[in-house]
């Protein structure tokens, strides 16, 4: 949304919630949206509309909406239930006209959820399944607000389109007899889309002006593609993930298609479908280490940015309690503690910092002090020790990662003359 925010579902403990990653104009921050009705989500959020709403499916197969209530200046949940009480398995996806999108239920049927202005409410419409064949992946590649594509159990691609007065199915078959295994994605120019076959190849289905045709884009560096293609940009490039965890770009060079290897973020392969393309210069992927990674063009080269885990910063009063009475407030912040280190950080504060405030003159004035522990989650563990020369230039060749026992810097005075200081990675 707005080229400044995206949403992810965190499915693992301790916080299996919906999270927003937001650029506030200065830095990226995590915002927790919790979970609808206290129920865990079961897949990826989708069908963003009007830069103010999106949809998720929870473990019992029900659909929920997360939307911004401008009048109240807050986010709210709205339940959409299940179509004919069938659990939803794929989607939400293929949003159209900011008023409709599609899901697939556990029996393989396609359903539409759309806004009925005449009734002032949302409604379900069944689209069934083509030739009684179960749909096995999320619907995708919406075009012209009147068509979308699905893959069915025999590996064929089908189109669902509006024919002036009714919906109809069209069979697109499969390329060279190869079964398709991913959801359709990366729609371009309202005339082409991309899918992945069981052979690990990327295939394009395109309208030539006279007929639909298949084009084989092969496999990058002979590696199998896993997951649906995504993050379409400028109607000329898209991104895929291969079985070794690498991100690859497929782009048009004016006269031919070409592959570009984007490699892997440090210490982690890529998993899932590339998504959340912004400003034709950045996209986001999930890593095998459960971090969110950004791949961004800085004007000169592509770079990786580690956004860490979807775990928002927190705080707790470790001495004193919240209140308005005059007290000296002291904030304690850890540096270089990743999500997996937070228990160690909290124990360090409780075992070392809190006892220190109960000694000597501090202890005699403990009632006038309020100490707040700030849980700042770092993308990676540890801090880096760096050397600076007499001009203040960083000598990065001598960077070393300080052991975890020294990741809690408390400054009482200026750094020593040797120029060694600690800072976060």
Residue range 400-409: average pLDDT? Answer: 46
Percent of the chain's residues with pLDDT above 90: 76
Least confident window among 120-124, 151-155, 208-212, 382-386: 382-386
Q: Compare 138 and 422 and report the one with higher pLDDT.
A: 138
Whether 395 has a pLDDT exceeding 70, the answer reads no
Sequence ranges of the chain with CATH classification 2.130.10.30: 5-306
The set of residues, in sequence order, having a beta carbon less than 8 Å from that of 25 and lying 6+ positions away, is none
Q: Is the pLDDT of residue 406 over 50?
A: no
Q: How confident is the model at residue 410 (pLDDT cuts 50, 70, 90)?
A: very low
pLDDT beyond 60 at 122: yes
How confident is the prediction for the chain on average, in pLDDT?
90
Question: Is the pLDDT assigned to residue 259 strictly greater than 90?
Answer: yes
Two structure tokens written together for 391 = 């001009």
pLDDT digits (tens, 9 = 90+) for 325-334: 878 889 999 8
Q: Coil, strand or helix: which one is 403?
A: coil
* pLDDT score recorded for residue 267: 84
- Under the banding of pLDDT at 50, 70 and 90, the label for residue 412 is very low
pLDDT at 390 over 90: no
Question: What percent of the chain is modeled with pLDDT above 70?
Answer: 92
Hey, is 265 helix, strand or coil? coil
Rounded CA separation 91/185 (Å)? 13
Residue 389's pLDDT is what?
75
Q: Which long-range contacts (CB under 8 A, 24 or more apart) does 19-27 make?
A: 19/310, 19/312, 21/284, 21/292, 21/307, 21/310
Q: Is the pLDDT of residue 303 over 60?
A: yes
What is the tens place of the pLDDT at every residue in 144-172?
Answer: 999 999 999 999 999 999 998 999 999 99
Is the distance from CB of 163 to CB of 146 less than 8 angstroms? no
Tell whether the model's pLDDT for residue 138 goes beyond 80: yes
Look at the domain 5-306 and name its fold: Methylamine Dehydrogenase; Chain H (2.130.10)
For residue 12, name the pLDDT band (cuts at 50, 70, 90): confident
pLDDT band at residue 396, thresholds of 50, 70 and 90?
low
Among residues 377, 374, 376, the alpha carbon closest in space to that of 316 is found at 374
Is residue 159 within 8 A of residue 190, CB to CB? The reply is: no
Whether the predicted pLDDT of 237 surpasses 70 = yes
pLDDT-based confidence at 335, cuts 50/70/90?
A: confident
- pTM, two decimals, is 0.84
Average pLDDT over residues 111-131: 97
- 3-state secondary structure (DSSP) of residue 25: coil
Indicate whether 339 pLDDT > 50. Answer: yes
């Amino acid at each position: 949304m707005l080229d400044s925010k995206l949403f992810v579902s965190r499915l693992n403990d301790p916080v299996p919630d919906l999270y927003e990653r937001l650029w506030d104009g200065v830095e990226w921050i995590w915002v927790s949206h919790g979970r609808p009705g206290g129920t865990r989500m079961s897949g990826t959020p989708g069908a963003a509309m009007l830069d103010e709403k999106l949809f998720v499916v929870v473990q019992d197969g029900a659909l929920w909406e997360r939307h911004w209530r401008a009048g109240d200046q807050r986010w709210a949940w709205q339940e959409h239930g299940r179509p004919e009480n069938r659990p939803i398995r794929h989607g939400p996806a293929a949003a159209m006209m900011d008023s409709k999108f599609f899901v697939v239920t556990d029996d393989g049927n396609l359903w539409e959820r759309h806004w009925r202005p005449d009734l002032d409410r949302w409604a379900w419409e069944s689209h069934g399944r083509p030739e009684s064949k179960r749909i096995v992946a999320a619907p995708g590649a919406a075009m012209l607000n009147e068509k979308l594509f699905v893959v069915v159990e025999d590996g064929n691609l089908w189109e669902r389109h509006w024919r002036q007065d009714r919906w109809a199915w069209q069979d697109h078959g499969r390329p060279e007899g190869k079964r398709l295994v991913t959801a359709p994605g990366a729609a371009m120019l309202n005339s082409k889309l991309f899918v992945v076959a069981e052979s690990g190849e990327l295939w394009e289905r395109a309208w030539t002006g006279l007929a639909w045709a298949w084009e084989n884009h092969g496999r990058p560096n002979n590696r199998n593609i896993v997951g649906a293609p995504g993050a379409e940009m400028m109607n000329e490039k898209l991104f895929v993930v291969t079985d070794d965890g690498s991100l690859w770009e497929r782009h048009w060079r004016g006269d031919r298609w070409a592959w570009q290897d984007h490699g892997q973020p440090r210490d982690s392969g890529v998993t899932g479908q590339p998504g959340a393309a912004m400003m034709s210069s950045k996209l986001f992927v999930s890593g095998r280490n459960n971090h969110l990674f950004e791949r961004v063009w800085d004007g000169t080269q592509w770079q990786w940015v580690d956004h860490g885990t979807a775990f928002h910063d927190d705080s707790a009063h470790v001495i004193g309690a919240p209140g308005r009475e005059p007290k000296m407030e002291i904030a304690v912040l850890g540096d270089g503690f990743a999500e997996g280190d937070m228990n160690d950080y909290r124990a360090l504060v409780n075992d070392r910092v809190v006892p220190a405030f109960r000694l000597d003159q501090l202890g005699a004035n403990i009632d006038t002090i309020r100490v707040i522990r700030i849980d700042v989650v770092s993308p990676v563990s540890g801090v880096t020790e760096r050397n600076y020369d007499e001009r203040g230039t960083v000598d990065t060749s001598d960077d070393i990662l300080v052991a975890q026992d020294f990741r809690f810097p408390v400054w009482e005075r200026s750094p020593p003359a040797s120029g060694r200081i600690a800072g976060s990675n």
